Amino acid sequence: MMDRRMVLALLIAGLVVLAAGPAFLSTHAIVLLTLIATTSIITSGLSIVTGLAGQITLAQAAFCAFGAYGATLMSSHAGIPMWVTIPVATVITAFIGYCLGVMSLRVEGHYLALVTLAFAGIVNLGILNLADLTGGAVGHAVEPFVFFGYPLVSPTALYYLSMVSALIALWGVSNLIRSRWGRAFNALRQSEVASMSLGVDVRRAKAVAFGLCAGLAALGGALQSLQTTYLDPVQFTILTGVSYLSVMVIGGLGRLSGAIIGAAIFVLMPDFLGAFKTYMGLIFAALLLGIIMIAPSGLGELVSRHRWFKSPEATS
């Protein structure tokens, strides 16, 4: 066991390395690290809703789309700077997520997964069909991030912006996990009935978890769009949402570190495979299945559900 001072020292050392990173890293490495930072904001949302609260969502990419498109469209149509529109889009998306959570209160398990699937489908079709607003299948250029006259567009500037945002987001989530809400999410994953009888407002907790998850996705998606500089509806399909969930499972659903590991896998795997990129999806699926098969109880323990959800054989 490491004591507190040791952890603190490691944390500070890590922060120093991250802060000094751009001084000695290649541009390619900076770009990849920036992507990992923004993706980990997106996946940390999943670690709240799926990892902690035990609800399956396939709509994470759709919430990213809300954040990315929301920020850019508000900026390009109304002329509001991006540093204002990104937080605004994040809050609005969190509210949309909250509403989706409220609407899905009565359903759980499969039905929730199906609702989020359909929601993701509608969002993607909406982007494709509202071509006047969103650019449709062609896409839409992202407005540059200008902060009081200083444009933050270089890889290094975006690196710092994304890193700081990701650290704040992850720090917030890790505090949330240990807060009253975090304990409520944890309880409702293990047994909804038990947590209800202990005074947890299950419905509200679920909706809040969804809202937070959506907000984080929007923030991550918007920051990511600053780096990609172009919005392509292909980035925000149902399949991307499934990929986010998959990397979280590979990274580890139960811990916040899983969000970072998952994000790293999501970003680095295409880069790492290089010429074998065509087989990436296949390798990815095999990896996912392998992890599930080898450690179903490990994973299961982390996301154990109450008896209603287990197969009848297991309960009787």
Partner 1 sequence: MDILQIVANGVPAGMMYGLVALGIVLIHNGTNVVHFGYGEQITLSAYIVIVLQVIFHVPFWLACLVSIVLSALFGLVIYLGILGPLRRTPLIVQVIATLAIGLGIREGLRAFMGPDPWPFPAIVANKVYEVHGVFITTANIVVVTVSIAIAALLFLFFRLSRYGHAILAACESPRGASIVGISVKQVSAVIWVLASVLAAVAALLMAPVLTLSPDMGLIAIKGFCAAILGGFVSLPGAIVGGVLLGLIETAAGYYISTATKDMVAYAALIAMVIFMPQGLLGKRLIKKV
Does residue 33 sit in helix, strand or coil?
Answer: helix
CB atoms within 10 A of CB 28: 10
> With b meaning 16 or more CB within 10 Å and e meaning fewer, what string describes 255-282?
ebebbbbbbbbbbebeeeeeeeeeeeee
Looking at 15-23, 85-93, 141-149, 307-315, which segment touches partner 1 (CB under 8 A)?
A: 307-315
Is 106 a residue that touches partner 1 (CB under 8 A)? yes
Residue whose CB is less far from partner 1, 116 or 224: 116
Query: CA–CA separation, 97 vs 129, rounded Å?
Result: 22
Distance of closest approach, residue 305 Cβ to partner 1, in angstroms = 5
Q: Which residue has the tokens 């809040």?
A: 208
Name the residue among 240, 97, 257, 248 with its Cα closest to residue 173: 257
Is 57 a residue that touches partner 1 (CB under 8 A)? no
Which position among 1, 23, 148, 278 is part of the footprint of partner 1 (CB under 8 A)? 278
Distance of closest approach, residue 271 Cβ to partner 1, in angstroms = 17
Backbone phi, then psi, for 130, in 5-degree steps? -90, 60
Which position among 49, 173, 238, 247 is part of the footprint of partner 1 (CB under 8 A)? 238
Which position among 29, 202, 242, 273 is part of the footprint of partner 1 (CB under 8 A)? 242
Distance of closest approach, residue 62 Cβ to partner 1, in angstroms = 11
Contact 33, 88 (CB under 8 A): no
What tokens were used for 153? 């567009």
Is 252 a residue that touches partner 1 (CB under 8 A)? no
Which position among 33, 115, 200, 209 is part of the footprint of partner 1 (CB under 8 A)? 115
Any idea what the Cα angle at residue 213 is, between residues 201 and 17, rounded to 5°?
125
Residue ranges binding partner 1 (CB under 8 A) = 50, 54, 56, 103-104, 106-107, 109-111, 113-115, 117-119, 121-122, 125-126, 129, 193, 238-239, 242, 245-246, 249, 278-282, 284-286, 288-289, 292-293, 296-297, 299-300, 303-305, 308-314, 316
